[in-house]
């Protein structure tokens, strides 16, 4: 089942269950997908949809932080529920331990020694873990190994 089919199925289920947050979140995601398809003039595949989901999660997390700073717990909680719904459409997340192992392998392969090599390392890791690990986490772990 493609991601689009899963979204349609989940949207129908949310309508039947009268789950407003899930329904609105899926509709928003579908809207983003449609807009991107119109812009590109082609139908999106699952990896492209996962990239959209990741972007929406990132924006949601930023909004949660801002609402928290503004002492708006009601909006922060709503946004967190939406982010949780979006996370259902990402592939299984990689564990930090597995991520650390792969980072060490890449650093050894490239012979990376310092922060100047960060870009080369990220160029390999970001596409490999797209949708499965947060880029910020990857960058922080790489920085840890290279000695900030």
State both tokens at 29: 């995601």
Which pLDDT score, from 0 to 100, does residue 131 have?
79
The whole-number pLDDT of residue 82 equals 96
Q: CATH 1.10.1510.10 in the chain: give the residue spans.
A: 3-87
Residue 133 dihedral angles phi and psi, to the nearest 5° = -155, 145
Residue 36's pLDDT is 95
Instruction: Please answer whether residues 107 and 145 qualify as being in contact, where contact means their C-beta atoms are separated by less than 8 angstroms.
Output: yes
Whether 116 has a pLDDT exceeding 90, the answer reads: no
Which among 63, 98, 97, 92 has a CA at the least distance from the CA of 80? 63
Q: How do residues 45-82 score in pLDDT, each as one tens digit? A: 988 999 899 899 999 999 999 999 999 999 999 999 99
Q: Can you give the pTM of this predicted structure?
A: 0.79
What is the C-alpha to C-alpha distance for residues 46 and 4, in angstroms, rounded to an integer? 8
Q: Which CATH number fits domain 3-87: 1.10.1510.10, 1.10.150.120, 1.10.10.10, 1.10.101.10?
A: 1.10.1510.10
Q: Is the pLDDT of residue 114 over 90?
A: no
**What is the location of CATH 1.10.10.410 in the chain?**
96-146
As a whole number of angstroms, the distance between CA 80 and CA 23 comes to: 15
> How far lies 65's CA from each of 25, 52, 58, 59, 61, in Å?
19, 20, 11, 10, 6
The fold of 96-146 is: Arc Repressor Mutant, subunit A (1.10.10)
Three-state SS at 131: coil
What is the structure's pLDDT at 148?
61
The 10s digit of each residue's pLDDT in 73-107 is 999 999 999 999 999 998 888 999 999 999 999 98
pLDDT (tens digit, 9 = 90+) per residue, 4-60? Answer: 999 999 999 999 999 999 999 999 999 999 999 999 999 999 889 998 998 999 999
């Amino acid at each position: 089942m493609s991601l689009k089919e899963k979204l349609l199925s989940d949207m129908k289920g949310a309508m039947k269950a009268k789950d407003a947050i899930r329904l609105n979140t899926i509709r928003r995601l579908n809207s983003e997908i449609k807009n991107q398809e119109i812009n590109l003039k082609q139908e999106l595949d699952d990896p492209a949809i996962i990239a959209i989901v990741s972007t929406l999660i990132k924006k949601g997390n930023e909004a949660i932080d801002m609402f928290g700073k503004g002492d708006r717990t009601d909006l922060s909680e709503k946004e967190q529920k939406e982010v949780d719904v979006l996370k259902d459409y990402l592939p299984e997340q990689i564990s930090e331990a597995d991520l650390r192992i792969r980072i060490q392998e890449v650093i050894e392969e490239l012979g990376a020694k310092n922060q100047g090599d960060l870009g080369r390392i990220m160029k390999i890791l970001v596409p490999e873990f797209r949708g499965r690990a947060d880029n910020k986490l990857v960058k922080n772990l790489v920085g840890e190994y290279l000695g900030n």
